[in-house]
Amino acid sequence: MDAGTLRIKPLKNPRFIEPVAICYTQEGKELVWEAVKAHDSVAVLLYHPKKEAFVVVKQFRPALYMQHGLEYSYELCAGIVDKDKSLEEIAYEEVVEETGYRPQNLHKVTSFYTSVGFAGSRQTLFYAEVEEKIEPGGGIDDERIEVVYVPAKRAKEFIFDESKPKTPGLMFAFLWWFETF
């Protein structure tokens, strides 16, 4: 990313979000809250048994760069729910698109809410194991996704390493795995 090319401008004709003002009454007082209508999403914690490692993705996030100067984040494989397909089908497709792996025994862990202060989107977390690469991965269109292996024995250390920007969903998923397996 060339920092000299970064500029911020008003959003016209958004494709994935819709800025709104939520007007409501609370304890007799009229209030307005700025929010964003956004898609729900799926995320998948991937574990590679032969490598004894988690498979995560590393990618450039413009908003993270704008706010904190950080060029990339470590994340679970994830995608928005914008297709007329089941959550499981969307999760499967995202794993193949982003990592190139075929997810085995994909199953739902739980759902939770993200960005509750301005979006309130729901994310559904899945778990799967992977071994077989069936595509190159790396994302689609303009996505530039790098596959990263985090050894399970170093995952707790990774969670608390603030030099590696990561999402709370990734941290939660790792902790879930340690509680479950």
Domain region containing 175:
39-180
**Number of domains the chain is built from:** 1
How many whole angstroms from its chain centre is CA 81? 12
Q: If we measure between CA atoms, which residue out of 49, 68, 53, 42 comes closest to residue 125? A: 42
How many whole angstroms from its chain centre is CA 80? 9
For the chain, percent of residues with pLDDT exceeding 70: 98
Instruction: Please tell me the pTM assigned to this model.
Output: 0.92
* pLDDT of amino acid 163: 97
Residue 152: CATH number of its domain: 3.90.79.10
- Separate counts of helices (H) and strands (E) for the chain: 4, 9
Is 105 domain-assigned?
yes
C-alpha angle 104-105-109 in degrees, rounded to nearest 5: 125
* 15-19, 38-42, 87-91, 126-130: range with lowest mean pLDDT: 15-19
Is 4 domain-assigned?
no
Residues 6+ apart with CB under 8 A from 92: 103, 106
* HEC sequence for 125-175: EEEEEEEEECCCCCCCCCCCEEEEEEEHHHHHHHHCCCCCCECHHHHHHHH
* pLDDT of amino acid 140: 82
pLDDT above 60: residue 1: no
Is 16 domain-assigned?
no
pLDDT digits (tens, 9 = 90+) for 16-46: 888 999 999 999 999 999 999 999 999 999 9
- What average pLDDT score do residues 142-155 get? 94
Is 19 domain-assigned?
no
Is 15 domain-assigned?
no
- Banded pLDDT at 2 (limits 50, 70, 90): low
The mean predicted confidence, pLDDT, of the chain is 94
Is 87 domain-assigned?
yes
Pairing of strands 121-133, 41-48: parallel
